[in-house]
């Protein structure tokens, strides 16, 4: 069996990889942090599909045939495209598992990148599953600020603006894998229950056959920088390798 490939634009995917590693310590994973293209959320659907095409090809070159898009922006904009262009690979997104965990709710706020919100992927999937009002809110600056390890005071200021429309919702979906990293700040600005993709992703692996091995973390940008970001945010000392895509 081959390791599973995991893909995101940066730190959001690291939190998914580390959570999976905690739950399944023997599972082999290859993570690509495509930081050279971050943030994905400000790009068009066509640009996101083109970037994902090259990234999936990179996994293919590594001999990997199963990839999890640990990224809502890629899942909502490029999944169909990737299924069409890589029919022999198993490529999964994370929107369905995130929506499937929802209980009854009256008002669901979706906080996500501009590209995820523009796709309306959450809204249409939620409306098929739950009878609730859905409020979609884009947060264009958040991923860049999280990647830059921006201080809490500045993050709280932009969250004031982004959370105003979803403050009263009884459920708030963190529709970007970067946002759980500042969940404690978002919790100060909304009153509803906060849900994200991490728990459902872990559950989705529970009955899966997994290759045993280590975790390899690549970045398309600067390995020393990502290694430092991981140390600061997660307190883990992890070696990062340069991933040359294309
Ligand atoms: N973490 C990603 C997501 O879940 C990508 C964010 C970005 O690069 O804009 O949407």
Pocket flag, ligand 1, residue 176 (CB < 6 Å): yes
Q: How many residues does the chain have?
A: 246
Check residues 147 and 104 and name the one with the higher pLDDT.
147
- Pair 115, 48: CB distance under 8 Å: yes
Banded pLDDT at 246 (limits 50, 70, 90): confident
Cα–Cα distance measured from residue 2 to residue 11, given in angstroms and rounded to the nearest whole number: 24
Among 176, 180, 219, which residue has the most ligand 1 atoms within 8 Å of its CB, making it the best to mutate?
Answer: 176
Pocket flag, ligand 1, residue 76 (CB < 6 Å): no
Average pLDDT over residues 82-108: 97
Average pLDDT over residues 17-37: 98
Q: What is the pLDDT of residues 134-190, one digit of tens each?
A: 999 999 999 999 999 999 999 999 999 999 999 999 999 999 999 999 999 999 999
Q: What percent of the chain has pLDDT over 90?
A: 98
Strand ranges inside the chain, DSSP E? 4-8, 29-33, 66-69, 90-92, 107-112, 133-138, 171-175, 193-195, 215-219, 240-242
- Pair 233, 149: CB distance under 8 Å: yes
CA 51 to chain centroid, in Å, comes to 15
Cα–Cα distance measured from residue 183 to residue 172, given in angstroms and rounded to the nearest whole number: 11
Distance in Å, CA 210 to ligand 1 centroid: 25
Cα–Cα distance measured from residue 217 to residue 221, given in angstroms and rounded to the nearest whole number: 12
Structure tokens at 209: 């056959």
- Residue numbers annotated as active site: 71, 176
Task: Tell me how far CA of residue 62 lies from CA of 65, 66, 77, 87, in angstroms.
Answer: 9, 11, 24, 17
Cis peptide bond N-terminal to 39, omega within 30: yes
- Pair 232, 149: CB distance under 8 Å: yes
Q: What percent of the chain has pLDDT over 70?
A: 100
> Global pTM?
0.97
Pocket flag, ligand 1, residue 33 (CB < 6 Å): no
Distance in Å, CA 150 to ligand 1 centroid: 16
Domains and CATH numbers, the chain: 4-94+200-242 (3.40.50.1860), 96-197 (3.40.50.1860)
Pocket flag, ligand 1, residue 9 (CB < 6 Å): yes
Pocket flag, ligand 1, residue 75 (CB < 6 Å): no
Q: What pairing do the DSSP bridges indicate for beta strands 171-175 and 29-33?
A: unpaired
């Amino acid at each position: 069996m081959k390791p599973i490939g995991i893909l995101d634009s940066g730190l959001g995917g690291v939190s998914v990889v580390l959570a999976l590693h905690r739950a399944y310590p023997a599972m082999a994973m290859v993570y690509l942090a495509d930081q050279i293209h971050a943030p994905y959320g400000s790009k068009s659907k066509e640009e996101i599909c083109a970037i994902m095409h090259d990234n999936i090809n990179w996994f293919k070159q590594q001999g990997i045939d199963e990839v999890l898009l640990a990224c809502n922006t890629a899942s909502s904009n490029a999944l169909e495209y990737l299924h069409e262009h890589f029919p022999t690979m198993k490529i999964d997104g994370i929107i369905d598992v995130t929506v499937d965990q929802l209980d009854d709710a009256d008002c669901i706020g979706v906080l996500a990148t501009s590209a995820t919100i523009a796709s309306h992927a959450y809204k249409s999937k939620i409306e098929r599953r739950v009878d609730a009002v859905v409020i979609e809110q884009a947060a264009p600056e958040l991923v860049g600020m999280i990647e830059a390890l921006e201080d809490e005071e500045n993050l709280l200021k932009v969250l004031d603006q982004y959370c105003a429309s979803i403050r009263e919702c009884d459920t708030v979906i963190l529709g970007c894998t970067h946002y759980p990293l500042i969940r404690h700040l978002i919790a100060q600005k909304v009153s509803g229950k906060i849900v994200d993709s991490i728990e459902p992703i872990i559950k989705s692996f529970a009955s899966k056959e997994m290759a045993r091995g280590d975790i390899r973390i690549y970045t398309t940008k600067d390995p020393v920088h990502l290694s430092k970001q991981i140390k600061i945010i997660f307190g883990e000392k992890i070696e990062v390798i340069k991933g040359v895509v294309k």
